[in-house]
Amino acid sequence: MNSQFTPLESFIGYKADTGMQCGNYSIDVPPLAEGEQYRFHFDATKCIGCRCCEVACNEQNNNPADIKWRRVGEMEGGSFPDTLLLFNSMSCNHCIDPACLIGCPTNSYIKFDNGIVFHDDPSCIGCQYCTWNCPYGVPTYHEERHIVTKCHMCHERLAIGQSPACVQACPSGAIEIETVNILEWVTKEIDENANMPHLPDARLTNSTTRFTLPSTMPEEMTKANEHHLKPAHSELPLVFMTVLTQMSLGAFGALFIGDILSLFGFFEPNWILALLALAPAALGLPLSALHLGRPLKAMSAMKNLRTSWLSREAAALGAFVGFMSVNVALYFFDISTLIRLGFELLTLLVGIYGIYAQGMIYRIPARPSWNRFTTNQKFFSTAYIGLFLISLALMILGSSDSATPLLSSAMILAVIHGFFTLDAHNELKSASTPQLQKTLQLYREHFDQIHTARWITLGVGALALPLLATLFIASGLTLAAIVTLILGFVLVVVSELMDRFLFYTTVVPLSMAGGFFVGTQRN
């Protein structure tokens, strides 16, 4: 069995006896047989929407009112007089293939032998990647504790034969604890018993919660929180980090190509240009730690290289920055060009993998507007800013002959990047997925001015001003060309920061139906 799957008895130091009786708190769940695990059963025909389960869960786990490990959602359907109000009480589904565990960079999730997906609070750095990965919106960021928290099926109560707080508190007996044969569930039963209206497909993570629904249901059920739509968190540290690291990749790529072409009389890079290529990523990576709830533990984000794209990104981009620093030294001490080229190639490949891993962080089913190939395309093509940076530096250093072809390459890549961006936006207009439709709605209702400004600054900064600078260069007006390129560079950086800001704020995640007044109760 996977080393991350830890027996419950060894974790709490007590051998569970699920058949024991404890007065009114007792449960009668048979011992787990080979290949079985615990799961929740929710009977929607019994739930009255009283939310006692929410209250009991918070009291049991000492959570503030805004932290909900168990949430009650509402749906309605039909037409008068044949209408239906349906509730869904859901906590963690203790999935067979939990996305939170797979993606966690610090191995803070443990799946016990009895199936419970447990979160180890002390090792959590508060990166919140699991809150992105989970298609059910289960893990919840706890602002006061600076970590993510989630339901653990009251494992300490189960160990001594007591029912979880939500089960015990439900006045109508709508929530139960059961055992399930994992193989039979996945191969025969999951499609019919694990899905519910407005809940992501159970096969995304092989969710184990069993739902009992009314025998007759309207063809369409509407979420009570359908009218709720608000921008997602802006993630400003990540806005800057992603753009800056992608800029460094482009700048270093230009440096590498320049070093090859220097063998044929083209511009010869130097330690100043190498330092300039390093600077954006060297600044961006530390900024990303500000996104964490526990930034001082940022280095532990590389613990799960086996399954977490976030760990791979952190390791690869960290190595990229380190290798670029060595390249600065190779230039400074005038090491042989062939030796330098070999190390530059290694550095470039590591950087390319780092940006690829960065893109794959967002290729997750739980966030449809991120989970598109255009995300990878845009992340790589943003490197055009790095080409602009090196072109500008060459102009300032007096190498206008070398700057002009590099500037032309930057403009071509900027056009390609603009095409990718436009294609991604046009895809929203024809999308049938509700989350993508709402992403487009956010663009139009909340960020129309920023979206327009993004295109204006891209057009002016990446095309109009560079063309003008080229004319100045041809006319021998070097100072005017430099000033024009500086303004253009500033505009393209601002443009990409705006686009990345929109990338984060317009995402609409998959989730369960929420309440009319409280939405999905997500942090």
For residue 430, tell me if it sits in a domain: yes
Give, as one character, the DSSP assignment of residue 509. -
Contact (Cβ atoms closer than 8 angstroms) between residue 400 and residue 481: yes
Question: Who contacts 433 (Cβ-Cβ below 8 Å, separation ≥6)?
Answer: 368
Dihedral of CA 121/126/129/130: which sign? positive
Residues 209 and 280 in one domain: no
Residues 206 and 348 in one domain: no
Cβ atoms of residues 71 and 54 within 8 Å:
yes
The last residue of a domain, from among 192, 223, 254 = 223
Q: Does residue 520 form part of some domain?
A: no
CATH number at residue 479: 1.20.1630.10
Same domain, 85 and 155: yes
Q: What is the dihedral of CA 447, 451, 452, 456, to 10 degrees?
A: 150
Same domain, 247 and 196: no
Which CATH number goes with the domain that contains 30? 3.30.70.20
Considering the domain architecture, whether residues 292 and 387 belong to the same structural domain is answered as yes
Regarding whether 337 and 299 lie in a shared domain, the answer is yes
Domain count for the chain, please give it.
2
- Which ranges of 333-474 would DSSP assign to H, the alpha helix? 337-361, 373-381, 384-396, 400-429, 434-446, 448-459, 465-474
Residue 243 and residue 175 share a domain: no
In a domain, 436, yes or no: yes
- 85 three-state secondary structure: strand
Longest Cα–Cα distance in the chain: 92
**Does 362 fall in a domain?**
yes
Exposure string of 377-401, with b = 16+ CB inside 10 Å and e = fewer, is: bbbbbbbbbbbbbbbbbbbeeebbe
Helix (H), strand (E) at residue 318: helix 309-332
Residues 6+ apart with CB under 8 A from 493: 243, 247, 385
Residues 153 and 277 in one domain: no
Between helix 309-332 and helix 337-361 the angle, nearest 10°, is 160
Q: Around Cβ 122, how many Cβ atoms within 10 Å?
A: 7
Range of the domain at 310: 236-505
Give the DSSP H or E segment for 84: strand 82-90
Residues 266 and 400 in one domain: yes
Which of these three, 168, 192, 223, is where a domain ends?
Answer: 223
Check whether residue 208 and residue 282 sit in a common domain.
Answer: no
Distance CA 348, CA 155 (A): 48
Which residues touch 8 (CB under 8 Å, ≥6 apart)? 16, 112, 113, 114, 116, 155, 158, 159
Residue 310 included in any domain: yes
Q: Are residues 198 and 335 in the same domain?
A: no
Question: For residue 368, is it within any domain?
Answer: yes
Q: Are 187 and 42 part of one and the same domain? A: yes
Please choose, from the candidates 124, 186, 149, the residue with its C-alpha nearest in 3D space to the C-alpha of residue 60.
Answer: 149
pLDDT digits (tens, 9 = 90+) for 238-264: 999 999 999 999 999 999 999 998 877
H helix or E strand, kind and range, residue 211: strand 210-212
Choosing from 200, 223, 246, the residue where a domain stops is: 223
* Token pair of 192 as six digits: 């019919």
Residues 511 and 135: their CA atoms lie apart, in Å, by: 6
Query: According to the model, what pLDDT value does residue 17 have?
Result: 39
Q: Is residue 54 situated within a structural domain?
A: yes
Closest Cα partner for 502 from 179, 276, 239, 260? 239
Whether 377 is in a domain gets the answer yes
CB 154 within 8 A of CB 169: no
Per-residue pLDDT of the chain (523 residues; tens, 9 = 90+): 344 444 443 333 333 333 333 334 566 777 899 999 999 999 999 999 999 999 999 999 999 998 999 999 999 999 888 899 999 999 999 999 999 999 999 999 999 999 999 999 999 999 999 999 999 999 999 999 999 999 999 999 998 888 999 999 999 999 999 999 999 999 999 999 999 999 999 999 999 999 999 998 998 999 998 988 999 999 999 999 999 999 999 999 999 999 998 877 666 789 999 999 999 999 999 999 999 999 999 999 999 999 999 999 999 999 999 999 999 999 999 888 889 999 999 999 999 999 999 999 999 999 999 999 999 999 999 999 999 999 999 999 988 888 999 999 999 999 999 999 999 999 999 999 999 999 999 999 999 999 999 999 999 999 999 999 999 999 989 999 999 999 999 999 999 999 999 999 999 999 899 887 777 765 4
- Burial letters 207-239, b for 16+ CB under 10 A, else e: bbbbbbbeeeebeebebbbeeeeebbeebebbb
The CA distance from 299 to 503, in Å, is 26
